[in-house]
Amino acid sequence: MARRLHGITDVPGIRVGHAQDPKALTGVTVVLCERGAVAGMDQRGGAPGTREMDALRPMHLVQEVHAVVLAGGSACSAFGLDAASGVMRYLEERGVGFETPGGRVPIVPAAILYDLAIGNPRVRPDAAMGYAACQAATDGPVPEGNVGAGTGATVGKILGMSYAMKGGIGTAALEIGGGIRIGALVAVNALGDVVDPHTGKILAGARRPDGTGFADTMAILEALAGQISLSFRRRVPESTVIGVVATNAALTKEEANKVARMAHNGLARAIRPAHTMVDGDTLFALATGEKEVDVSIVGAFAAEVVAEAIVRAIQAAEGVAGIPTWRDLAGETSDPT
């Protein structure tokens, strides 16, 4: 039977660091794998903001990455992606990177989410914040909620920010047979509602204007069917779920891409709807290569830990700028674990 672990840093060789500006409500999360990890990715949303993604596709030279950056800023432009430059500097100073005749070049893919609707939109994650996140990196328990890329995250935005709720960043991990470990770290900033993947009950999402509970984004879409196409397509792409799945399994680059693809099943289980044209949903997969296991097994449990990490992000979130949280609506005061 699978054993529940704390989070993604329970995968050997993985460290995580956060840096954030709590006043501007934006931040950076870096997942370091300085010894190198075979990497893949799968991007499902219609409004992504990414960097170095082509290097992760099959039939490209680079096989391993040395870090992944998740940041705020904007998913519909390049704001926030500059944080990866600071991560590259941190790694270069330590001699980490892909060997070239001119020196080692750190391979650092990145994805960003839109958090400009709250806080100070003029402050965006930059190279200094990316470097600071590396300095804070540890293989210990990962802080969750309003930290790093989750600092300015929100969910349930179909009716606008006035009726949204606070998102955040969360992590989860499992150890399955043979000592295989699979963990996920997800920053949750979705247009849709976050639901309990086991019951379908809405945990956080768009609230009714009269304050009587959840509006249910899927019900709103159903009511607007036939008249929503024009207005919905013109919405600012202000949502995105971004994250990393890591495992100690030995995977090829093609298999790592497959794991990232299967991991999106967890996103779809916990967010309703997912992968819309105004979301930039992107997941990375990292494999450190210690254990032999079938890729389908890794992918199946990757979906499980992604769904759990999303729920934990919502449960750990704290209210800011008048935006309520799961705890506010549930009357919950206990630790989400």
Q: At 296, which helix (H) or strand (E)?
A: helix 295-316
Residue 44 has pLDDT above 80, yes or no: yes
Distance CA(168)–CA(309), nearest Å, equals: 10
Residue 119 has pLDDT above 90, yes or no: no
Instruction: Indicate which CATH number applies to the domain containing 61.
Output: 3.60.70.12
Pairing of strands 50-51, 103-105: unpaired
Average pLDDT for the chain: 92
CA 166/CA 115 separation, integer angstroms? 11
Is there a domain that residue 336 lies in? no
At residue 222, what are phi and psi to the nearest 5 degrees?
-65, -40
The encoded tokens of residue 266 equal 């967890």
The predicted structure's pLDDT at residue 237: 59
Does 332 have pLDDT greater than 90? no
Lowest-pLDDT choice from 11-20, 94-103, 294-303: 94-103
Least confident of 45-59, 119-133, 315-329: 45-59
Give the pLDDT of residue 235.
58
Q: Is residue 314 domain-resident? A: yes
Domain presence at residue 276: yes
pLDDT the model gives residue 77: 59
pLDDT score, position 48: 85
63-116: pLDDT as tens digits: 999 999 999 987 555 788 999 999 999 999 999 999 999 889 999 999 999 998
Helix (H, G, I), strand (E, B) or coil at 45: coil
Chain segment 167-199, per-residue pLDDT in tens: 999 999 999 989 999 999 999 999 999 999 999
Number of domains the chain is built from: 1
170: left (phi over 0), alpha (psi -120 to 50) or beta: beta
Q: What is the pLDDT of residues 244-269, one digit of tens each?
A: 999 999 999 999 999 999 999 999 99
Which range has the worst mean pLDDT, 56-65, 147-156, 314-323? 56-65
Residue 50 lies in a domain: yes
Is 335 part of a structural domain of the chain?
no
| pLDDT over 80 at 238, yes or no | no
In the predicted structure, residue 60 carries a pLDDT above the cut 90: no
What CA–CA distances, in Å, run from 163 to 34, 166, 208, 286? 41, 10, 7, 36
Report if residue 198 sits inside a domain. Answer: yes
- Which residues lie below 8 Å from residue 331, measured CB to CB, with a gap of 6+? none
Q: Place 58 in a pLDDT band, splitting at 50, 70 and 90.
A: confident
Using only C-alpha atoms, the chain has a radius of gyration, in whole angstroms, of 18
Where in the sequence is the domain holding 106, given as residue range(s)?
Answer: 3-330
Residue 140 maps to a domain = yes
Confidence at residue 225, expressed as pLDDT on a 0 to 100 scale: 78
Q: What pLDDT is recorded for position 261?
A: 97
In a domain, 212, yes or no: yes
Contacts of 287 (CB under 8 A, 6+ apart): 37, 38, 39, 246, 247, 248, 249, 250, 251, 255, 256, 259, 298
Element (H, E) at 83: helix 83-93
